[in-house]
Structure 1
């Protein structure tokens, strides 16, 4: 090889490496400045110092770092937060649960910018499809955007919401479909789940430019607490189909629809399950995240099924896996600070999330992902 050519290649490689090395340095420096000694130790345990040009950023693996510059908005600044997620309005006295930043392994993420987000999606439609945890993330995003830019609420049908940023013509929408597939109630009052039918629901999603799906909380692992009476597959009727079997069939129906109906330019995510934190007394009134570095939450049965289905899905769906992120935040749930009819320590919501709170980190990760596409 020509020595000059070799030198040029080495220089080019070095220059290419500089941004990554700088990013790693800034990430480490930032964590060291903000974190407690305990968190710095955790940072080292997770091998976060091993940053080099071969290291890929793992957005969904990392640690929570206390950062008093958070939250990115206040609940009083966002009139769109549903009452069940507004823990302050429901009497929660502490604010520490709002002051945590998700720090991915091996890199840093850009602080959420409403302007940057809207410029990236200018003239496009982003649609969330799922259940009340999806609604958690949807409202978080609306709050993050509306703090800096006015948004217009567009009334739609029950449990579906739509906001439009008029400055950038960006539509942010929520469609309620906790099973993704269709469920109906017949004349006898029986709840029928059609695991092979999705068309009536999906006609409302098809025109989105970015789609974020989620479905797991309404699928129990065992028979007895499911929210249907009959499962239909074609003309076959089942009253004893195991919920996780039905879940896999429903995800397969969804997968086939995505592969057959979406424009290849559509960006599609499937969000992993968020963790609930009910203890043996069905409570979660902790004021601190889980900081034990040996804590290793195991994937749910739903996660294994989702992974299997996505592995055979023809359309390039991106797994937006916030399970690890949410597993450590036992402090972020409404707990007793909910507006549900039953209140007090005997009833706690350990499934949903306070806003501001954990779902804001999911949208920061979404923002980072969009910037890279």
Structure 2
């Protein structure tokens, strides 16, 4: 079986993500001609009963967000996480059967984007939902939306990166919306920067779009985009850098846009390229470009004077694609319906490339912690999802991504909702 790395340059990431509310309407039918007084007596009786319920009980016909303190704590499998990095690695484990079902559905979460709503787009198998992540030496607590909102109450969290970073935010949004309906506060003209607010906990959730983390300009030919970029590796993208003020949590993830022909600059001078195969230009490789981009972003965060002193930055490691029997543009697909069966890393030898990308990200995280010094080293944490997601070729939309402009192409980069991506919020919950 041939496995190819994706070049996502031609994927159309701009999907219609409008939220549709469908309020239920109740219609009461009756027959006229009933004598007036019996009808009046009946009406008064019913009114008395309803008045009693409405005075003494919570309105049974209306659902609204309650404050976190007032919200009744529903039974959960909550286990207070003891995150001991020496004795327990949450990110090393295996997928085990779990028949408890998902914490949200396509009906209970109205914010699922069309492109990740795999069931709406025709996917019929459901077994890929019946698995949970089991670390080898400890337990990973199931995401508890009430306790999560208690932890982040009054704070601001942003996801920074590409459309897979956005995918993570969308998954978290669905999980939290099961206990409180978020308010859609802001969307820019391109739907790249979003902001949601949870009034009862005063929690703000945002997403900052950035293909490369650093400044980049697409190379144009005859006023048409080429899909290649000039990357200024020494300059952060100001669009996200200017929005860090007031943040308490920043979750960074990026990589997929580096899988293309790009030209690399430092101090406005061309220093090399990625996948260009051109004479007189040094091929520096994808990992080099990714490493320096992360280093520049982390350095900016470390030196950010406008940022909250207690802001925590988490790096979510590379989320692998699973194209089989071809690339995205050569008939490749992802038709698995079950996780890969891997025991303590065995069988991962063919995915060394993805593990190298992960290694770069982790090394730059460690560097940032060292540069932060003793007082700031705990401001940098890791959400290491790579190993877990390498085993989940069954979790992508594949052909069920609803893009009518790209029929015949498969999406083996993003993740179905609900689906394996929801474990990322389990990790986030445990680490926080």
Shorter-chain TM-score range: 0.7 to 0.9
Task: Classify 1:330/1:199 alpha carbon distance in 2 versus 1 (closer, same or farther; 3 Å).
Answer: closer
Q: Is 1:124 matched with 2:155?
A: yes
1:291-347, CA deviations, whole angstroms, 9 ceiling, x for partnerless residues? 142323535332232233223222332121100110111111111111122234xx2
Q: Is 1:300 matched with 2:300?
A: no
Q: For residues 357 and 187 of structure 1, what CA distance do their matches in structure 2 show?
A: 38
Contact 2:94 2:342 in 1 (8 A): no
Q: Is 1:149 matched with 2:171?
A: no
Contact 1:57 1:107 in 2 (8 A): yes
Contact 2:358 2:386 in 1 (8 A): no
Structure 2 gap segments, 5+ residues each? 1-76, 274-282, 327-331
Q: Secondary structure at the match of 1:218?
A: helix
Q: For residues 386 and 342 of structure 2, what CA distance do their matches in structure 1 show?
A: 17
Match of 1:43 in 2: none
Match of 2:233 in 1: 195
Relative to the length of structure 2, the TM-score reads 0.68
Q: For residues 100 and 187 of structure 1, what CA distance do their matches in structure 2 show?
A: 45
Q: Is 1:209 matched with 2:265?
A: no
Q: For residues 238 and 58 of structure 1, what CA distance do their matches in structure 2 show?
A: 39
- Greater C-alpha Rg: 2
Contact 1:55 1:106 in 2 (8 A): no
Alignment of 1:17-56 (within 5 A): 56=87
Q: Is 1:259 matched with 2:302?
A: yes
Q: Is 1:352 matched with 2:414?
A: yes
Q: Secondary structure at the match of 1:300?
A: helix
Relative to the length of structure 1, the TM-score reads 0.78
Q: For residues 425 and 136 of structure 2, what CA distance do their matches in structure 1 show?
A: 17
Contact 2:216 2:237 in 1 (8 A): no
Alignment of 1:198-277 (within 5 A): 198=236, 200=238, 201-220=240-259, 225-226=260-261, 228=262, 230-238=263-271, 240=273, 242=284, 243-261=286-304, 262-277=307-322
Q: CA deviation at 1:238?
A: 4.8
Match of 1:321 in 2: 384
Report the aligned-residue RMSD. Answer: 2.4
Which structure carries more helix by proportion?
1
Q: Is 1:179 matched with 2:216?
A: no
Aligned length: 312
Q: CA deviation at 1:107?
A: 1.4
Q: For residues 220 and 180 of structure 2, what CA distance do their matches in structure 1 show?
A: 47
Task: Classify 1:248/1:69 alpha carbon distance in 2 versus 1 (closer, same or farther; 3 Å).
Answer: same
